[in-house]
Amino acid sequence: MSGVKWEVVSFPTRKYELAIGAATDVSQDQFMDATNSQPPKFVLPNVKPIAIGNVTVDPPILQAPMAGFTNYAFRQIVREYGGSGLIATEMVNARGFVWLDENTPEHPERLWGVRDEPRPLAVQIWDNQPETMAKVGRRLVEDYRVSIVDINFGCPVKQVTEKAKSGSYLLRTPDKMGEIISEVVKACAPTPVTAKIRLGCTRDNINAIDVAQVVEGAGAAALTVHGRTAQDMFRGHSDWDRISEIRPYLKKIPLIGNGDLDSHQKVLHAFQNYDVDGVMIARACLGRPWLFSQCKAALLGEPVPPDPSLAEQKTCLLHHFDLIVQRFGESKGAQLMRRYACCYAQGRFGARHFRTHVAKVSTAEEFYSVVEEYFPVDKLDV
């Protein structure tokens, strides 16, 4: 491997964010008065900014909370490219938060940057104890001043479901979900509380319509639905027909669809063909944080920016690494970047070779060398 070390320069090399339609923590009317401009003209008549309590999400394109990925460094890069109406943290273990709060001067690592970063910002929490969830929700509102508290009822990972009886496990007990939401809503008022669910626990027990009504009845301000069951994990395809069927059963709150949105064409298709108020992009944005800006441009009927050049993508990756190192130091930062770097290379010629080498790095010097020598060439991996 070569010993070349990259010097990270000003980033990003392209600015995609548009002046109008930025997300804001005030009402849409207040936003329009403050900017003295007109609302963005979306090309589809059913697309418009969505109100989640007192938070206006504009455009109605949300970044999904993803454990192990959507930390402060990633969120900052998403903001630099622009296009997401609402950004979210990784999901935070409420019980772990309480233990740290009571026994140490530290708070969860997943809240890195939350106090100081721009708003609006959603923090997602999970557990199965209403009082614990309410306590953490209140702390997030009072201490961290978050815009939205989101409750995870969709995580299918066994550590959360089987061991902790939380996440998507709770879909089998809608009444318990309602109790949790109600307590968190009361503790966080007037800050809005939202929920994220799956269609159900299994294909034989799809109960998303019943759950959606419980969620709204308990006081949630929005509902996001991933179009798979917990049993599906991430196999198969997201069932957007099932997501769309929920809309008539919600009286006031917005419905946000999630699953398999990996291009601006699919985002347009979702709004054109399904009864949703907003969309949430998850795994597809991990190696393509510019995807939100492309989707926003498509919704506005503007020219869709092309993907950054390979050189620009490499610069983005190194910028990401620089942000991680600033927080965690070079050694831990290099180890953490193994997972992120693989996302940037996905789908490109030579990606497997790059993954093999980047998975072994343990120092900053090794990381820079691997990126310089093995980052994929600008071709699709076919």
155, 188, 285, 343: the active-site residue: 155
Report which of 71, 122, 123 is spatially closest to residue 94, judged by C-alpha positions: 123
Distance CA 303, CA 332 (A): 40
For strands 121-126 and 55-57, give the pairing: unpaired
Confirm if 205 and 162 have CB atoms less than 8 A apart.
no
Distance CA 311, CA 290 (A): 14
Exposed, middle or buried by CB within 10 Å (0-12, 13-18, 19+), for 189?
middle
Report which of 66, 62, 1 is spatially closest to residue 254, judged by C-alpha positions: 62
Q: How many CB atoms are located within 10 Å of the residue 283 CB?
A: 16
Instruction: Please report, as a single letter, which amino acid is at residue 53.
Output: G
Residue 175 C-beta-side C-alpha neighbours within 13 Å: 0
Instruction: Please report, as a single letter, which amino acid is at residue 194.
Output: T
The residues pairing with 125 across neighbouring beta strands, listed in sequence order, are: 92, 151
Q: For residue 21, what are the contacts with CB-CB under 8 A and spacing of at least 6?
A: 39, 40, 49, 58, 59, 296, 300
Confirm if 83 and 293 have CB atoms less than 8 A apart.
yes
Distance CA 90, CA 70 (A): 5
343 is catalytic: no
Cite the DSSP H helix spans in the chain: 28-35, 72-81, 94-103, 130-142, 158, 174-188, 208-217, 240-244, 264-273, 291-300, 310-328, 330-345, 351-358, 364-374
User: Per the structure block, which two tokens stand in for 41?
Assistant: 């003209």
Q: Please tell me whether residue 24 adopts helix, strand or coil conformation.
A: strand
- What's phi and psi for 150, nearest 5 deg? -105, 140
Distance CA 301, CA 227 (A): 27
Give me the active site residues, please.
155
